[in-house]
Amino acid sequence: MGSGIQARMAQYGFESNDDYDYQLRCLTTGDFDGLRALNIEGDCGRRKTAFANALAHVLDCPHILYHDFTQQSPPLPDIILPPSKDESGREEPPIDPFDQVVSEACAFSEGEGTVLILDQIQAADFREHIRIYRFLTEARWQIRDALYFAHRPHLLVFLISEQPLYHSLQKHSFRVWVNRVSPRQVPYRPEDFGMASDALDFMARLAEVFEALGMAPTHSEYAHLVHDIHHQVRTAEALRHSIYGWTEGVSRDLLYSGELQGLLEAVIRSILEYIGLEEVELASQGTDTSI
């Protein structure tokens, strides 16, 4: 089942067969010259965002702040302040949402654990990259004439970008890779899903299918498949539908290729023997159940 961190992150919407316990220890105990920063890399998509959010909750930080540089219309703050004026009566422009969220992170870090998630950094102006680097090294943030100081022991900064980070930012952060799918095969046992040992054969043959697909289902994904096997799956075509329907990141082209047909039919023969049915047509002989 993996480490406690895996289970807790799954509770907050990020499930993976990969164990990030070691990386978390490096982040929380490493010798950072400034603020601790985590550079979250990985395959394109919002899975990195889900990872950041789940990890922030696992760390039990009371304050989790988020900024997306691609967001054109950020949500309105809880309190809308009137525009300020300088000594000459000229109105100053409102504070940029990015400045707002960083200043709030500084304020919260004075008293409690805080995580600041900066997402889609590749969309930010390069000058903002420089400001973030200075923030990480100096633990202070400047907005016009005002200075905000971060309390280093209480603040963590998560950096997410679809492109390689600015060199200085990358050098000042610990990198972690978030897989779109996990290639690590998990040796599930029948008892993990409330089954007896007679399920071993179809589970072994199903593992061959996932090995050919180059990925492995998570525990909850496998539990969905086990349910379908007991109640729905009687043909190779149905098995394809269930694997694709429940398993994140599976290659549909490979799943529906002729290369896997023999492996899928072997799983079906084992399933039919397991559930006690002897004369059910395989997908190559039966009705197409595609939607």
Note whether 258 and 165 are same-domain residues: no
Name residues whose C-beta falls within 8 Å of residue 76's C-beta, 6 or more positions apart in sequence: none
**What's the half-sphere exposure (Cβ side, CA atoms, 13 Å) at 238?**
20
pLDDT score recorded for residue 90: 57
| Short-list 165, 137, 166, 142, CA closest to 152 | 137
In a domain, 115, yes or no: yes
The sign of the torsion formed by the CA atoms of 3, 221, 278, 269 equals negative
Would residue 55 count as lying in a domain?
A: yes
**pLDDT given at position 76:** 56
pLDDT for residue 153 is more than 60: yes
> Directed axis angle between helix 200-213 and helix 261-275, to 10°?
160
User: Based on the structure, what is the number of domains in the chain?
Assistant: 2
Query: In this structure, is residue 43 part of a structural domain?
Result: yes
In this prediction, residue 72 carries a pLDDT of 67
Render pLDDT for 201-239 as a digit per residue (tens, 0 to 9).
999 999 999 999 999 999 999 999 999 999 999 999 999
Q: Is residue 209 part of a domain?
A: yes
Do 55 and 154 lie in a common domain?
yes
Residue 35 · residue 161 · CB < 8 Å = no
At residue 95, the pLDDT reads 82
For residue 99, give the nearest of 77, 87, 84 by alpha carbon: 77
Query: Could you say which of 139, 158, 178 is where a domain stops?
Result: 178
pTM: 0.76
Give the number of other Cβ atoms within 10 Å of residue 50's Cβ: 17
* Residue 210 sits in the same domain as residue 111: no
Contact status, residue 42 vs residue 180, Cβ threshold 8 Å: yes
Tell whether 207 and 154 lie within a shared domain: no
Closest CA to 75 of 101, 41, 103: 101
Q: Is 73 a residue whose pLDDT tops 60?
A: no
- At 285, the pLDDT band (50, 70, 90 cuts) reads very low
Comparison of pLDDT for 90 and 139, the residue scoring more? 139
pLDDT value for 79: 58
Q: How do 36-42 and 155-160 pair as beta strands? A: parallel
User: Sorting pLDDT into bands at 50, 70 and 90, what band is 280?
Assistant: very low
Per-residue model confidence as pLDDT tens digits over 1-17: 445 788 899 899 898 88
Which of residues 65 and 83 earns the better pLDDT score?
65
Instruction: Indicate the residue among 178, 212, 228 that finishes a domain.
Output: 178
The CATH number covering residue 42 comes to 3.40.50.300
Q: How many CB atoms lie within 10 A of CB 196?
A: 9
Same domain? For 154 and 43 the reply is yes
Considering the domain architecture, whether residues 153 and 212 belong to the same structural domain is answered as no
Q: For residues 243 and 127, state if they share a domain.
A: no
Is 116 part of a structural domain of the chain?
Answer: yes
Determine, yes or no, domain membership for 280: no
Co-location of 65 and 170 in the same domain: yes
Quick one: 76 and 108 in the same domain? Answer: yes
Q: What is the largest CA-CA distance in the chain?
A: 90
Tell me what the mean pLDDT of segment 179-183 comes to: 77
Same domain, 240 and 264: yes
Task: Evaluate whether 206 touches 242 at the Cβ level (below 8 Å).
Answer: no
- What pLDDT score was predicted for residue 82? 59
In 3D, which of 186, 179, 183, 256 has the Cα closest to residue 220? Answer: 186
Is 290 within a domain? no
End position of a domain, from candidates 178, 203, 224 = 178
For residues 89 and 198, state if they share a domain. Answer: no
Q: How confident is the model at residue 69 (pLDDT cuts 50, 70, 90)?
A: very high
Q: Whole-angstrom Cα distance, residue 146 to residue 61?
A: 26
pLDDT in tens, 85-132: 656 655 566 789 999 999 999 999 999 999 999 999 999 999 999 999
pLDDT > 80? residue 68: yes
Identify whether the C-beta of residue 105 lies closer than 8 Å to the C-beta of residue 114: yes
Q: In what order do the strands lie in the sheet with 114-119?
A: 63-68, 114-119, 155-160, 36-42, 174-178
Beta strands in the chain (DSSP E): 36-42, 63-68, 114-119, 140-143, 146-149, 155-160, 174-178
Residue 230 lies in a domain: yes
| Structural domain containing residue 107 | 4-178
* 215 and 132 assigned to the same domain: no
State what percent of residues in the chain have pLDDT above 70.
86
